[in-house]
Amino acid sequence: MKKWNEMLKEGHSWASHKRERQPLPRSSQNPKISAHRFSILSSPPASLAAREQASASFRFARMEEAIPFKNLPSREYQGHKKKVHSVAWNCTGTKLASGSVDQTARVWHIEPHGHGKVKDIELKGHTDSVDQLCWDPKHADLIATASGDKTVRLWDARSGKCSQQAELSGENINITYKPDGTHVAVGNRDDELTILDVRKFKPIHKRKFNYEVNEIAWNMSGEMFFLTTGNGTVEVLAYPSLRPVDTLMAHTAGCYCIAIDPVGRYFAVGSADSLVSLWDISEMLCVRTFTKLEWPVRTISFNHTGDYVASASEDLFIDIVCLSETVHSLPELQNLGFFKMK
């Protein structure tokens, strides 16, 4: 069988196995109207994990080999006045950014072994909630924020100054960088996708979809673009043409979130059906489903080596699973259990 990326170059696609779907009502599965959203992630070089909480603070935990995740210590950082909606590490794992309903973002200088006061810089300028943010994958001090005030801003984390700003057509709720750092993709509440050229910070692509679009992502080569939808599908587009290539019937309810394995082998999808699916990115086949969570899955993240995938739902737990190079042939993956947020 030809690899999926070969078919992509030839302009082909195939239909995935279709399952009967029983989607939840849009009002109950749409993250755009939920009280808050979650983010979990691990830092690139350092062994740290962070999770946003529905409060003005967040925690991070140190991840050491051979130590069960449930026994890891955690620290709490406070600074925002209202709920935190998003957290993200920079590409070197030395800074952690957080976005909040208080209309600000903060950049925290994290020292994994330090116990003193953590320095932070406040990024002020938005006039509505900062719903998501992401770091430039090639620059450790540049960060982009998406806000309900219809603007996207690029910040210098060293000075705390806004260096670029673009006003778009709707309330922005999702943002992601292309892996080479040249483009930024933004999704809004009206299911419109905008691609910005980072150098000029001007839109180069705009597309309105007639279905609910949730989290978005590029693959590591930047040749494919993924949309998670309220129909339980993952739409795969060729990039930069944004030509539809495949529709993956991924879940029985709306797909909320997606994460790309940094090594480029897999991607993971979280859904309102409380399941997480793991997909082979070259074959576009689901190779495993994780069933530990009991509520809609709001966020997913791989660690920097792609060996672990973490997922979180609308409760106090993060499910962490250890992946293997032979994930296809293993009857069961090693599940590291729940990491409870106090």
342 occurs within a structural domain: no
Question: Both 123 and 192 in a single domain?
Answer: yes
Q: Return the minimum-mean-pLDDT range out of 37-51, 61-75, 269-283, 323-337.
A: 323-337
pLDDT tens-digit series, residues 53-97: 455 655 544 444 444 666 777 778 889 999 999 999 999 989 999
pLDDT at 328: 33
Question: Both 248 and 316 in a single domain?
Answer: yes
pLDDT at 335: 56
16 occurs within a structural domain: no
Question: Both 224 and 202 in a single domain?
Answer: no
Q: How confident is the model at residue 49 (pLDDT cuts 50, 70, 90)?
A: low
Half-sphere exposure of 333 (CA within 13 A, CB side): 23
Query: What does the alpha-carbon distance between residue 260 and residue 217 come to, in Å, rounded to a whole number?
Result: 7
pLDDT tens-digit series, residues 160-190: 999 999 999 999 999 999 999 999 999 999 9
Question: Both 267 and 313 in a single domain?
Answer: yes
Name the phi and psi angles at 69, rounded to 5: -60, -35
Structural domain boundaries enclosing 254: 220-324
Q: Residue 165 is part of a domain; what is its CATH number?
A: 2.130.10.10
**Which 8-state DSSP code applies to residue 182?**
S
Question: Both 251 and 316 in a single domain?
Answer: yes
Question: Both 312 and 195 in a single domain?
Answer: no
Question: Both 256 and 167 in a single domain?
Answer: no
Domain tally, the chain: 2
Question: Both 87 and 201 in a single domain?
Answer: yes
15 occurs within a structural domain: no
Question: Both 236 and 198 in a single domain?
Answer: no
Which range scores top for mean pLDDT: 5-9, 136-140, 306-310? Answer: 136-140
The tokens for 106 are 């903060």
pLDDT at 118: 66
Question: Both 90 and 166 in a single domain?
Answer: yes
pLDDT at 138: 97
23 occurs within a structural domain: no
3 occurs within a structural domain: no
Is 4 a residue whose pLDDT tops 60? no
Q: How many CB atoms lie within 10 A of CB 295?
A: 12
pLDDT tens-digit series, residues 284-327: 999 999 999 999 999 999 988 898 999 999 887 888 888 864 33
Query: What does the alpha-carbon distance between residue 89 and residue 110 come to, in Å, rounded to a whole number?
Result: 10
